[in-house]
Structure 1
């Protein structure tokens, strides 16, 4: 057997008891935690480049919390695998596209709408928002138009990111990838030439209207969808080599690459970073087995991934609130990288971000499937039963 051999599958074979699922859960959770940790450090510590002689501890903290860019690429990749792979399984079934639309809308809005309401409350406390009416014609990060635009995935395209919550840029990408992918599929699977041509025209319109870099990064998302259909047969040694390559290129581009934004010139590096990751995932289709250690790791990864979306969208406003408390109650907003006690404060604040997000998850995100079932009963009244939930949804 060759070190690596690629095999096409008609259906995704992802199961809850596989190493793929364990790794995807773990990656999703760690990626969300990485983004929150990176943004927290950037907000409450001075920039590393502004320090003449930073201590070794702070250099290590800055390095290990500097993979937020790569973490977002992991989100795109896994979202493509899970969301795109699920639609590939169901395409051609009755009401598949309507069910897909409800799944995507409820996944986003069940978390986003209450988060935006909480952001308004935090903004009123910190003074970032005002009690004056802000209608659809009013400018500003807290206006009704900005609220609706962010719910519809129009941030960075038509409106600002709501409340200055800068990680929301990636949700605009995700929203439009959810639209572009079924249009792409319908070009090949649509009923008749007219439907196929219409979908091709609509897809072309999205590419023409959306920012170029947004459509370019659809390629990363699409890579995940394609590999949901590929099983990689490999030796143990080959998997170790692929994993080492994935880690090596991530570290290399963490140091020498573009990490502050997604740009046309950063697409090549991100493709290089994500390709070994997706190959490694495709090779890890084996069952977890009886290992107690792996099952504990899997349980932790599943727990962390369950509130990863809430953590991703909520951490910036909570950081703003903690900074407001620090400024008004303690007279400081920045930590000192030379003081060991300030490292304890940093990790305590990171714990608060996780705890707050988990509590909000229990109230809102955990009920996504209830909201989804209600929406399907309302909008798909002829369906005999709701579609089986996607257990490992990254979107």
Structure 2
């Protein structure tokens, strides 16, 4: 929940920042910029500063890397190796290899991950479906599992046997099922809501 509590403010600030830059109506742009500036001043410095790391993903998402199939594979493999080294180094030397370095390296690697991947059709469909519910799953899974573990298991740990595997599978299936339900009720309509907001405020 700590991560979500931080990211909540990024989801508030990012639209304000976009509106301040993109709006053609000066008064609305000034209002958005003023509110964005106030929130950046009001929020703790570390939280506001780390929005820059969060924005790395946005910048990388707009990037495109096209070096042919063979070249893309090499860059993906090279990026994976560099990112793994940086991630390991962040545990060893956290002062020098901080969140900014880890986020920046991953953002530089991310465009190389775009493009076509050779995968069976069923795997593509499954990946697309999981991607659709990924944010809802991220939001829902912790409070749901926390409630289930505290109310059901009451602090007990299960053994790595058949019963334990069954309990784990049940928790996993239940969490995904609840997330799909929440996604269907709310996030599925995100695009239509976004289009309505753009018509009203664009």
TM over 0.5: yes
Residues 302, 191 of structure 1: alpha-carbon distance in 2 compared, 3 angstrom cutoff: same
Aligned with 1:361 (options 141, 161, 183): 183
How many Å separate the matches in 2 of 1:316 and 1:284?
A: 28
The CA deviation at 1:217 is 1.1
Higher RCO (C-alpha 8 Å, min separation 6)? 1
Superposition RMSD in Å:
3.7
Aligned with 2:59: secondary structure? helix
The counterpart of 2:86, out of the listed 249, 258, 282, is 249
Which runs of 5 or more residues in structure 1 are unaligned? 1-164, 259-264, 384-395
CA shift at 1:169, angstroms?
0.7
The 5 Å alignment of 1:268-307 reads: 269-288=98-117, 291=118, 293=119, 295-307=121-133
Instruction: Compute the displacement of 1:315 (Å).
Output: 1.8
Task: Provide the residue aligned with 1:79 in structure 2.
Answer: none
Aligned 8 A contact 1:183 1:202 in 2? no
In the alignment, which of 133, 137, 153 is matched to residue 311 of structure 1? 137
Deviates more, 1:358-367 or 1:306-315: 358-367
What SS is found at the alignment partner of 2:188?
helix
| Structure 1 or 2: more helix by fraction | 2
The aligned counterpart of 2:8 is 172
Aligned residues: 197
Relative to structure 1, the CA distance from residue 249 to residue 347 in structure 2 (aligned partners, 3 Å threshold; closer, same or farther) is farther
Name the structure 2 match of 1:326: 152
TM-score calculated relative to the size of structure 1: 0.41
TM-score by length of 2: 0.72
Among candidates 34, 38, 57, match of residue 224 of structure 1 = 57
Inter-partner Cα distance in structure 2 for 1:215 and 1:306 = 28
Structure 2 CA distance for partners of 1:184 and 1:222, relative to 1, 3 Å: farther
Residue 348 of structure 1 and its aligned partner are, at CA, apart by 2.7
CA–CA separation in structure 2 for the residues paired with 1:221 and 1:249:
18
Per the alignment, do residues 374 and 201 of structure 1 end up closer, same or farther by CA in structure 2, a change over 3 Å counting?
Answer: closer
